[in-house]
Structure 1
Amino acid sequence: MFKEQCKNLFKDRTFYRTMIFLAIPIMIQNLLVSSLNMIDTLMIGSIGENEIAAVGIANQVFFLYNLLIGGVGAGCSMFISQYWGAKDITDIHKTLGVGLLSGFVISLLFTGVALLAPKPILALFTSDPIVLQLSIDYLHIVCLSYLFTAVSVIFAASQRSVGNANLPMIISFLAILTNAFFNWLLIFGIGPFPKLGVEGAAIATLIARLLECTLLLIFSLKKNSVLAGGYHDYFHFTTAFFRKIQANSLPVILNEGCWGIGTVFYTIAYGQIGTKAIAATQITNTIQNLFMVLCFSMSSAALVMIGNQIGAKNRENTITYAYKFTILALLLGVILGIVVIFAAPTILTLFNVSEDVRISAIAILRIFCFMAPVRVTTVILIVGVFRGGGDAGYALKLEAMTMWLIGVPLAFIGAVYLHLSVEMVALIISAEEITKLAVALPHLHKLTWIHDLTVSSST
């Protein structure tokens, strides 16, 4: 099957037409978000390294929260894409309702912790009192945006699942412009506005998230929208239906949470090396995310397209699409690695950091370039193919085992016991991605990841 798909890789015009229609708006949206994150880092970075480290540390809480909410959105998308393939509008609405309830609970939990007990959590990342206080100041404000973020993520994922990727892209663009504008005003104190530094960045984020949520609700709930419905449409479902959605979505949420907590532990490990190590990884993560936009966009398109084919009972197309996405992922990883090798040094000149931080960042980015084909392929398989096929449970097991049995232990061994440099720690934890791909490819060939979630749907 793999060799056959390589020979016929570019012959299916319908596949590429659909993929481009979905992936390009998602790519533009992700690119805008990643660009904004880099602009935030640049603006804060012009103040100093303490501020970069503080915002990076505080955003570890949002990073974990956003992954969980993203897991809720991905869980909804897994179902809605298949229900859309089966043209089951009723269950689309009910799935959206379950997602909103889940998002509300998670938002309430994270906002409460961020407001009431931020210090014990943030102190895990740094012992520097200046950085710690700046992190607390930022988190106290930005956590008020968590509920708005949840509603936005769930509605945006649902819109993409029914083939409307343009709306979230346009609204995200407007929110990003708003964020960047208020960053400029409030971080630096332009005109009559006070110079608030990291607190200004937090306020700008809160304003932008509120705008994004409001616009998504207005357009998603208008009369002709597929997602539009009343309270009864969203929340009048049986316990059996709720359990079905949760049983299949929970592995996605746990997967995102597991990966997010692991990434937080990576940051803790880097923090044992020093503030410069945190600054270097914060900068390189921002750059890597910018270049991984195509990967995340393709994985979202894969989830929707494969889910649609399963819902429409097209098994042959499901298998063909899965192999095409895998091959394209390998090619994309090679291209991304080459581009980053040439572009990264120039991008790093934009950051006002010490020479030590710059050298470490360049070394970490070189490691990323080498590992890009492996990383991109694992993301496409786990986030796109397996989830789109309804096999989120296997994705969770694979992610959890490789991260917690390989990646995280190696990070702490390298940082705490072997006292390695930040770039050497980044190198040894790449064993996680290699192992993940070695296990994921045989699972792809077995075809046991194909599950029709629309069967026996209880309402």
Structure 2
Amino acid sequence: MNASFRRELRRIALPVTLQYLLQSSFSVIDQVMIGQLGTVSVAAIGIAASFVGLYNTLVFSVAGAASIIMAQSTAKGDARQSGQAFYTSLAAMSALAVMCAAACIASPTRIMGLYSTDPATIAAAAPYIRIYALGFIPQVVENIIAVYLRCTDAAKVPLYAGIAAAVANTALNFVLIFGTPVTPALGVRGAAWASTASQCVACVGVLWYFARRRNAGRPRAHDSKAHENTQWGLTPALYRTRSELAMFGSVLAPMVAGDFLWQLGNNVYVSVYGHLSTDSMAAMTLINPMTTLVFGALAGLAQAALLMVGRKLGAGDENGAYATARRLLRDGFVAAIVIAGAVVALRGAYVRIFQVDDSVRAITQQILVVFAIMFPLRVANMIMSSGVLRSGGKTGYIMAVSLLGTWCVGVPLALLSGFAWHWSVVGVYAMISQEETAKTLISLPLFRSRRWMKRL
């Protein structure tokens, strides 16, 4: 049991973790390099990243709904259900990408004005988000293909594509942000162009592999099953009947609503930081590379929980699913404690990377201590909501947890501490972090009750 558990965990979690870190490196590399340009540029990247995060949440929610269904359907060998989840999700994500890209291209200044009152910060962020939006379409194609590849034990392919994209992003950042003897320095706009080009690289990588394998597995015309691609168990189809759409909607709607409202709450937090001061917004932006990397180190556990627990539920092994979920939660919590200690120890060296005012560095160090204290609870909630509870398709539970934690605890405390009590950004962040405590208190009873277990 232990050996097989560890093998499966490594096979799923390690490639996903590395790919997550590589995908996250787009924004991390942007922020580290932009950190050399001063406080205003750092704050601009921060408010732009908040809107991108809202968009990403919607995209990842649709992909997450697809992964729940595909994890169980691949375990059952149901090629039609896998294909319906894949192609319906791809269509929905593409429509969403087009709408959000159009908004960013048409009204970037108005969108960025929601997050800050500083004209200089808004002026720097608007061209960044306009250019970055050009990568929305390749991003959704890469994401849905990556989800399916993980469900079919081909998780290394998105990883390799991510490596190529990260290398391209880093090289292009150096060239476009700072310039060369023969090219101009584009600053914030250069970071956006580099990220957009890198998204295209990742998309081309997984799309090429996916198309190649699909064509290689296509039956010959004389085959009695020529209408299906049995190589990967993925039948080209969409959800069409009322019962099919109802099943997909029952998984998707609560997930999208919960994740969107949670991310919308995060956007409220950013707006509060931005209205406190530019230094506060810059400090909150500076913690992002560190927090992204440490979350990325454990991101694979959430995806492993979704797939490993989902497969056991698909096979009808509820006891095995519960035992697997408990082990993943325990391992994640212990690992988070170790990583939190490293964050506190390295915070001084970390802030010296950035060319910002000393006051911004001091605030950033204090925020990182608060983050480290709450990090184990954040990881437990990530594994619980993004992995365990989703594996059974009970996405309504996740929506309830997100709404209660964010909108009944986090947002009220953010508004009170920021605008009524006039606390510093460190105090505001500490209050906002209490949403994690609330989510844990809600999630644990749900987990222990086993009511989240459902075979789709």
* Aligned position for 1:332: 335
Matched, 1:273 2:273: no
Once the two structures are overlaid, the 10-residue window that deviates more, 168-177 or 224-233, is: 224-233
* Aligned position for 2:115: 125
> How far has the Cα of 1:353 moved from its partner?
1.2
Do 2:82 and 2:235's aligned partners in 1 also have CA atoms closer than 8 Å?
no
State the alpha-carbon separation in 1 of the partners of residues 413 and 230 from structure 2.
45
* Aligned position for 2:391: 388
Residues 285-327 of structure 1, C-alpha deviation per residue, up to 9 Å, x if partnerless? 2211111113221001110111111111112211111111121
Aligned length: 443
2:405 pairs, out of 374, 397, 402, with 402
> How far has the Cα of 1:120 moved from its partner?
2.4
1:71 pairs, out of 61, 72, 96, with 61
* Aligned position for 1:6: none
2:16 pairs, out of 6, 11, 26, with 26
| Matched position secondary structure for 1:196 | coil
> How far has the Cα of 1:230 moved from its partner?
12
* Aligned position for 1:376: 379
| Matched position secondary structure for 1:247 | helix
| Matched position secondary structure for 1:221 | helix
| Matched position secondary structure for 1:67 | helix
Could you tell me which amino acid in structure 2 is paired with residue 18 of structure 1?
A: E
| Matched position secondary structure for 1:100 | helix
Matched, 1:299 2:302: yes
Residues 413-436 of structure 1, C-alpha deviation per residue, up to 9 Å, x if partnerless? 111111111111111122211111
> How far has the Cα of 1:347 moved from its partner?
1.6
State the alpha-carbon separation in 2 of the partners of residues 431 and 401 from structure 1.
12
* Aligned position for 1:151: 141
Matched, 1:172 2:162: yes
Do 2:83 and 2:234's aligned partners in 1 also have CA atoms closer than 8 Å?
no
Once the two structures are overlaid, the 10-residue window that deviates more, 220-229 or 55-64, is: 220-229
State the alpha-carbon separation in 1 of the partners of residues 138 and 23 from structure 2.
16
> How far has the Cα of 1:127 moved from its partner?
1.4
Do 1:221 and 1:228's aligned partners in 2 also have CA atoms closer than 8 Å?
no
Could you tell me which amino acid in structure 2 is paired with residue 410 of structure 1?
A: L
* Aligned position for 1:457: none
State the alpha-carbon separation in 1 of the partners of residues 434 and 262 from structure 2.
15
| Matched position secondary structure for 1:234 | coil
* Aligned position for 1:419: 422
* Aligned position for 1:361: 364
State the alpha-carbon separation in 1 of the partners of residues 216 and 358 from structure 2.
56
1:111 pairs, out of 85, 101, 104, with 101
* Aligned position for 2:354: 351
* Aligned position for 1:188: 178
Do 1:220 and 1:228's aligned partners in 2 also have CA atoms closer than 8 Å?
no
> How far has the Cα of 1:238 moved from its partner?
3.3
TM-score (norm 2): 0.93
Do 2:117 and 2:275's aligned partners in 1 also have CA atoms closer than 8 Å?
no
| Matched position secondary structure for 1:449 | coil
Could you tell me which amino acid in structure 2 is paired with residue 452 of structure 1?
A: R
> How far has the Cα of 1:206 moved from its partner?
1.4
Taking the TM superposition and a 5 Å limit, the aligned residue runs for 1:121-270 are 121-222=111-212, 223-224=215-216, 233-235=236-238, 237-270=240-273
Once the two structures are overlaid, the 10-residue window that deviates more, 50-59 or 401-410, is: 50-59
Do 1:111 and 1:146's aligned partners in 2 also have CA atoms closer than 8 Å?
yes
Residues 181-204 of structure 1, C-alpha deviation per residue, up to 9 Å, x if partnerless? 111111111142221111111111
> How far has the Cα of 1:278 moved from its partner?
0.7
* Aligned position for 1:44: 34
Do 1:44 and 1:198's aligned partners in 2 also have CA atoms closer than 8 Å?
yes
State the alpha-carbon separation in 1 of the partners of residues 289 and 395 from structure 2.
27
Could you tell me which amino acid in structure 2 is paired with residue 267 of structure 1?
A: V
CA-based RMSD of the aligned residues comes to 1.9
State the alpha-carbon separation in 2 of the partners of residues 224 and 434 from structure 1.
50
| Matched position secondary structure for 1:26 | helix
Once the two structures are overlaid, the 10-residue window that deviates more, 127-136 or 224-233, is: 224-233
State the alpha-carbon separation in 2 of the partners of residues 405 and 21 from structure 1.
38
Residues 37-76 of structure 1, C-alpha deviation per residue, up to 9 Å, x if partnerless? 3221121111111111112112222111111101111111
State the alpha-carbon separation in 2 of the partners of residues 380 and 229 from structure 1.
28
Do 2:177 and 2:189's aligned partners in 1 also have CA atoms closer than 8 Å?
yes
> How far has the Cα of 1:97 moved from its partner?
0.6
TM-score (norm 1): 0.93
State the alpha-carbon separation in 1 of the partners of residues 397 and 239 from structure 2.
30
Taking the TM superposition and a 5 Å limit, the aligned residue runs for 1:436-447 are 436-447=439-450
Q: Structure 2 vs 1, CA of residues 265 and 327 (structure 1 numbering), >3 Å: closer, same or farther?
A: same
| Matched position secondary structure for 1:220 | helix
> How far has the Cα of 1:35 moved from its partner?
3.7
Q: Structure 2 vs 1, CA of residues 118 and 227 (structure 1 numbering), >3 Å: closer, same or farther?
A: farther
| Matched position secondary structure for 1:269 | helix
Segments of 5+ residues of structure 1 without an aligned counterpart are 1-10, 454-459
> How far has the Cα of 1:360 moved from its partner?
0.8
Residues 355-407 of structure 1, C-alpha deviation per residue, up to 9 Å, x if partnerless? 11111111111011111111111111111100012111101111111100110
Do 2:26 and 2:195's aligned partners in 1 also have CA atoms closer than 8 Å?
no
State the alpha-carbon separation in 2 of the partners of residues 192 and 102 from structure 1.
42
* Aligned position for 1:3: none
| Matched position secondary structure for 2:183 | coil
2:436 pairs, out of 409, 433, 436, with 433
| Matched position secondary structure for 2:115 | coil
> How far has the Cα of 1:237 moved from its partner?
4.4
Segments of 5+ residues of structure 2 without an aligned counterpart are 218-228
> How far has the Cα of 1:342 moved from its partner?
1.2
